[in-house]
Structure 1
């Protein structure tokens, strides 16, 4: 984590530049809650999951499920907390290219930490600048090739037979027709902390950069990730207490697992026309293929409308974003106007997860066959006006729209044509007023309208037990977001403080499970309010401290009726949600503190402590995952000698071997809410870098 303030003897404080609001600004002049994380100079982790770097960011709840089949669990100010896999409600970008689909479903698995330069985390009202499902935004930026050619080779190993090998080639260029380059490749595998949780991941990333003679800049990127992961699934409370390492399916007859292949490429282009005008363009395309085997018994699949126990889809996606930036066309004013387009075409099948002999964990007969299409075309404008020497007014407007269409090709007796389409659209205004009270103290207040459509996965199964096909009656959520903040960078450190409130209509929540398939509905009103505080400082010499505190009170602000089960009145599909119930998956309090001794070379050391409050597991607040505090420590040595650099480290996580729940499967219908975290575990690593 980057620490920016100098010791009290030095008043030349560094300028922190951020780009999350689409123009490069100083952090203390942006009326939004933005935290910037620099990739550390020396390696302190295995560099597999982005959670390794973002634990201390205020307002961000990021949990490692210890399950590589389901990605990380990420939420910001409560947005995305309902997700049982992947990322919902917040947007992810890698070098300006979306890692989130048009419907709002994203993944973090293609972020290459070995070639990472920095991450910007944008929370609050101004996230609406990014359109649909932008309750928060995470923008990662990889390194550009610099200086002489170099090669770096690394090897990491740890508990549960974790091992990761990586190689990186990089070099700069002084000639406009020759690119600077960074090429990175890594291989990771593990037996897993729990039974049946082994995983293998291969990640390749390349970035070429041209700085042309006319002042324009081109980045070309290509990324591929290949994951094969077993899924131990969640445990109920009794299972977790008895043996947190066990797989839910004790005999493992279902062999639950997931296979993922994703390849994407993209091009970004910046072109200054003159001192006042600049153009930006981005185009990208990709393909994602997933096969997932689930633990659904054959008895549940007898219903002719059931889609089977194997999910198999092949998804092509592509898009573009073009914008113009104009400066000083009016005094002290910057304008931005742009148009973003994204499209996803998906060929989705469902199969039975058993064969003719009754053996599970195999691909059986076809039970679903459809082509799904989503697209959006979002125009947007922004303006920033310094109307007095120390006052700024920023505003934005985006028309966000998402268009869904499903063409059903599986039409048999008892399962008719479920084709259909629907559209969602919303005008998203945002406005902020900023005041530079002192050169080192900035205050702001802001408002933004948020918009979140259901993902295709959440629409996939109907809440009506007598219907099959897509749930096109599911509405998009709409939110009003308010924020008041203070920022200060001075010899005592970098401080940020924000209070916020979010009022949401038609929040997307669970509607129970039909034959092993999760369904969703809308809750009339929910409210989230809280505060965030962070402090970073270089205490003395190379000793740095980073700390953060987050508080959020998230609850249902209206009653939501139950959904009855026509076959058993005592077991409704979804129980009633009472006004005042807490929204599940959200910790009311979080705290983090980290101390690090980080000289430019020589001995390195660090100590971290993280507290997480209890988390409710479902909408009716029937149980909680208990609060916990965990501690981690690391030591290392960085040796630099002319063209050579050698980095070694050793790390222990969960130092005091706490038995705790690392993440929650929200609203699991079988009561298997708990995903246990690893006990005390170790990792060691070494990397060697040679410059030519």
Structure 2
């Protein structure tokens, strides 16, 4: 019976049409492997063990395929979406936003600077004006979120990736601290898909140019890929631009039949010129900050910063971004190693270590920031595949540890440009540590019904000391030491059911939990936006349920629909206290997040395609009393029922395309794309909202299939982004309400708005060898 079942499974896979088999290979392989686990366990008792090398040789795969349970790819019982490089292969793909925006439930905004991107899953990162918070980010399953919860997206090049996995919903049982919204895993292109070299260049408006190359290969016992790029541009907004270089490498080698070793390297260094954020009123009158070179002769509505003339205290002057030469120079080095060892045919031990160094020099405003933040992350786990009470099962258990060494400094800026570093304002020294364990069990209750249960437990410690400097007039400088020694204990369970109702329809229901401790920097800024003790902050937690369906009909149609509701406790809300003041953080006791996500990929006719991703979010406070203070006056305002600022109620991306499927014109194609974002509030009182926008992008390309002739090794494209030249808000930081303030007052609060990119033309060429 066992041999017959195995033969039937293999025959079913072989009988699939070639095109469908290619399209569904990853999903089908995962299903077959789960079903084969029970078969392997029975065969092991009556036959000699089959080595990994033998299995791989028989199937045609390289021998370095991982056997441990994947962290992020094709998760059972949870809403996940995978975007392949086919979606952006013939586009400029200037930032990772071009990839992740194609996933339902994901919203992207411009961050601090022309290449920085904010990525939010179910509104998780909506209040953050740079980087990524409240989601865990991986690359090839190596962590690129540091133990303090920060990941950055301006240090990566989308050309390096073959796919992106987006995991949605609270996931701390699997990913630990800060996984309140889920996780994103960027997968570099596999050597087996390259088998040679590719070089390309993209050019575009506002000085954009990207030169990149990839080499890769795979054979019996090894696989590698190496990517490098050099990218630069001048932004449309005054005093914005960047130059950044990236090296990204992944290599895996089989050591015998039971061991596999994987090495990962990412290196990036970038120089970025930054503009200032504007008030909403300034944005309406001068969105791209034209004529803003010098404060003394600047055009109206130019953003400025206020700096001490002597860099210490006393008199101040205003400077534009160009005068102050606001900038960032960041360097990131990530090196990781992963070892998999098969203790038995159905038992794999995986150990992984990652070193992540972030060196920053950021004269981005009136208080430049410098620092070295080195982190170390270790994990070790086992994956077991077999049977429990006659049911196929996959078990997982592991331990993990993360350590961040924080050494950072802030200074007053002087009028002397980028290198005008004045007196220190604060130093922060210390560390953040996370130590925990996690376990997971996937049990096939029937051939079509899977039960998943998991739990994670984590001990987090923040041991950081801030020294704040003050410079009273006619007196010696004063130093105030503020220690923060906080410990947190968090437990996150999850459970789900996944039912393959029929071959074409998969349903799931899930309850998951998430948690995130405060950032160390949040403990040292009071609600007045000045250094001080804010160490009473509590960690935020959420419990979420979601119900979803996925439909797959051959290569013609894939669709997904998910509804979710999440209950937050002590949500950490961060906002600006005003001009030249620091952002501060507070706890909102209770809030409710709910929404709907939909995705569609449909090929109704040969060569045609329709892709849709959509997310609807209704996020609001259910218990939050905000205290506002001005001088000797103070008042409390009830924000219950108000929308959480920064969260767009809806975000949609629609792409209609055509690619000639055959004949001499095969490979010629194009698409029209619409991206829509609804209006959203940017203050807790919901007095001020930035307007909705819809962008139109068009693309033409030639991407022929492999074959004889040099032209079949070439790919070409031309794209126009923001075809209608719509002026829109690319990013808006949350601003604080004030006593007696109304909407008119809020529109004049500076430090919030960046304009999005105007109409820009791109073109690119790529060659394969």
Q: Compute the TM-score of the two structures, normalised by the length of structure 2.
A: 0.81
CA distance in 2: counterparts of 1:558 and 1:388, whole angstroms: 43
Cα distance change of structure 1 residues 25 and 128 upon mapping to structure 2, 3 Å threshold: closer
CA distance in 2: counterparts of 1:590 and 1:402, whole angstroms: 35
Q: 1:390 aligns with which of 435, 448, 456?
A: 448
> SS of 1:53's equivalent?
helix
Cα contact 1:186–1:203 (8 A) shared by 2? yes
> SS of 2:98's equivalent?
helix
Deviates more, 1:265-274 or 1:444-453: 265-274
Cα contact 1:604–1:637 (8 A) shared by 2? yes
Q: Does 1:478 align with 2:541?
A: yes
Cα contact 2:68–2:348 (8 A) shared by 1? no
Equivalences for residues 214-233 of structure 1 within 5 A: 214-233=257-276
Cα contact 1:66–1:678 (8 A) shared by 2? no
CA distance in 2: counterparts of 1:244 and 1:8, whole angstroms: 53
> SS of 1:80's equivalent?
coil
Q: 1:146 aligns with which of 161, 175, 192?
A: 192
Equivalences for residues 35-114 of structure 1 within 5 A: 35-40=81-86, 43-65=89-111, 67-68=113-114, 71-114=116-159
Give the superposed CA RMSD. 2.9
Cα contact 1:665–1:673 (8 A) shared by 2? yes
> SS of 2:99's equivalent?
helix
CA distance in 2: counterparts of 1:512 and 1:147, whole angstroms: 47
Deviation string 1:448-504 (CA, Å, 9 cap, x unpaired) is 121012223333423377x84563211110111111111111245111111110110
> SS of 1:239's equivalent?
helix
Cα distance change of structure 1 residues 172 and 434 upon mapping to structure 2, 3 Å threshold: closer
Counterpart residue number, 1:494: 558
Equivalences for residues 354-373 of structure 1 within 5 A: 354=414, 362-373=420-431
Q: Which has the higher contact order (CA 8 A, sep 6+)?
A: 1
CA distance in 2: counterparts of 1:447 and 1:628, whole angstroms: 34
Larger radius of gyration: 2
Cα contact 2:133–2:151 (8 A) shared by 1? yes
Q: CA deviation at 1:398?
A: 0.2
Q: 1:272 aligns with which of 331, 337, 342?
A: 342
Cα distance change of structure 1 residues 24 and 426 upon mapping to structure 2, 3 Å threshold: closer
Equivalences for residues 549-628 of structure 1 within 5 A: 549-565=614-630, 567=631, 569=633, 576-598=637-659, 602-628=667-693
Deviates more, 1:157-166 or 1:660-669: 660-669
Higher helix share: 2
Counterpart residue number, 2:404: 344
Cα distance change of structure 1 residues 442 and 43 upon mapping to structure 2, 3 Å threshold: closer
Deviates more, 1:41-50 or 1:98-107: 41-50
Deviates more, 1:192-201 or 1:43-52: 43-52
CA distance in 2: counterparts of 1:186 and 1:295, whole angstroms: 29
Cα contact 1:21–1:126 (8 A) shared by 2? no
Counterpart residue number, 2:435: 377
> SS of 1:473's equivalent?
coil
CA distance in 2: counterparts of 1:147 and 1:256, whole angstroms: 42
Q: CA deviation at 1:590?
A: 1.9
CA distance in 1: counterparts of 2:504 and 2:442, whole angstroms: 20
Cα contact 1:552–1:587 (8 A) shared by 2? yes
Q: Does 1:312 align with 2:391?
A: no
Cα contact 1:46–1:683 (8 A) shared by 2? yes
Q: Does 1:166 align with 2:212?
A: yes
Q: CA deviation at 1:317?
A: 0.7
Cα distance change of structure 1 residues 495 and 127 upon mapping to structure 2, 3 Å threshold: farther
CA distance in 1: counterparts of 2:72 and 2:195, whole angstroms: 32
Counterpart residue number, 2:591: 526
Deviates more, 1:148-157 or 1:47-56: 148-157
> SS of 1:295's equivalent?
coil
Q: Does 1:675 align with 2:757?
A: no
Counterpart residue number, 2:53: none
CA distance in 2: counterparts of 1:599 and 1:403, whole angstroms: 57
Counterpart residue number, 1:650: 718
Q: CA deviation at 1:561?
A: 2.8
Deviation string 1:57-107 (CA, Å, 9 cap, x unpaired) is 1110012348247x2111111111110211111111011111111121111
Cα distance change of structure 1 residues 180 and 434 upon mapping to structure 2, 3 Å threshold: closer
Equivalences for residues 298-309 of structure 1 within 5 A: 309=367
> SS of 1:419's equivalent?
strand
Q: CA deviation at 1:678?
A: 1.4
CA distance in 1: counterparts of 2:206 and 2:212, whole angstroms: 19
Q: CA deviation at 1:126?
A: 4.1
Cα contact 1:147–1:173 (8 A) shared by 2? no
Counterpart residue number, 2:732: 664
Q: CA deviation at 1:636?
A: 1.3
Cα contact 1:613–1:627 (8 A) shared by 2? yes
